[in-house]
């Protein structure tokens, strides 16, 4: 992929939803982007649990769900834009999501008074 295709990719992405790679029909690209939008909407719903709690465990699990959601969304976007390289970001988030939950859980146990 040359530098020029990077720029044209940016221009295409700015043009709107129906700007997928050549091997996907515009309809399929729109479906992928729409599904990603639906998943973000689900993440907003889960955000209610982060806000409301009531315990810290609820929040950790909620952020874990949002993280898994993000991995799925990033995979959808990688497919919609036809950029397999974007999957690397999804992989990094899948790893970090797990580590984050472990770190916060360990911390809540050590601090105590939460359970």
Partner 1 sequence: MTFTPLEAVTLVFVLGCALTAALLRDVLAAIIASAAYSLGIAILWIVLQAPDVALTEAAVGAGVMTLLLLLTIAKTVRPENENEFERPNLRSLVVVVAFAGVLLATVPALPAIGAADSPVAGGEVTQYYLENAYEETEVSNAVTAVLAAYRGFDTLGEAVVVFTAGVAVLLVLRREVFV
> Is the Cα dihedral 36, 42, 44, 50 positive or negative?
negative
Handedness of CA 38, 97, 77, 8 (dihedral sign): positive
CB 87 → partner 1: shortest distance, Å? 9
Question: Distance (Å, rounded) from C-alpha 113 to C-alpha 22?
Answer: 56
Q: Could you tell me where the DSSP H helices lie in the chain?
A: 3-15, 26-52, 56-81, 86-111
- The minimum distance between CB 2 and partner 1, in angstroms, equals 6
Instruction: Report the distance separating Cα 66 and Cα 40, nearest Å.
Output: 9
Minimum CB separation from partner 1 for residue 27, in Å? 15
Q: Which of 29, 86, 109, 115 binds partner 1 (CB under 8 A)?
A: 86
Per CB under 8 A, residues contacting partner 1 are 1-4, 6-7, 9-17, 33-34, 36-37, 40-41, 43-44, 47, 50-51, 53, 56, 59-60, 62-63, 66-67, 70, 73-74, 77-78, 81, 83, 85-86, 88-89, 92-93, 96-97, 99-100, 103-104, 107-108, 110-111, 113-114
């Amino acid at each position: 992929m040359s530098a020029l295709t990077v720029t044209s990719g940016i221009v295409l992405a700015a043009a709107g939803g129906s700007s997928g790679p050549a091997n996907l029909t515009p309809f399929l690209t729109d479906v992928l982007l729409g599904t990603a939008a639906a998943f973000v909407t689900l993440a907003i719903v889960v955000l209610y649990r982060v806000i409301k709690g009531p315990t810290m465990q609820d929040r950790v699990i909620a952020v874990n769900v949002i993280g898994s959601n993000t991995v799925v969304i990033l995979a959808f976007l990688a497919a919609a834009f036809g950029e397999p390289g974007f999957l690397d970001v999804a992989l990094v988030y899948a790893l970090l999501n797990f580590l984050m939950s472990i770190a916060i859980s360990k911390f809540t146990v050590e601090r105590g008074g939460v359970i």
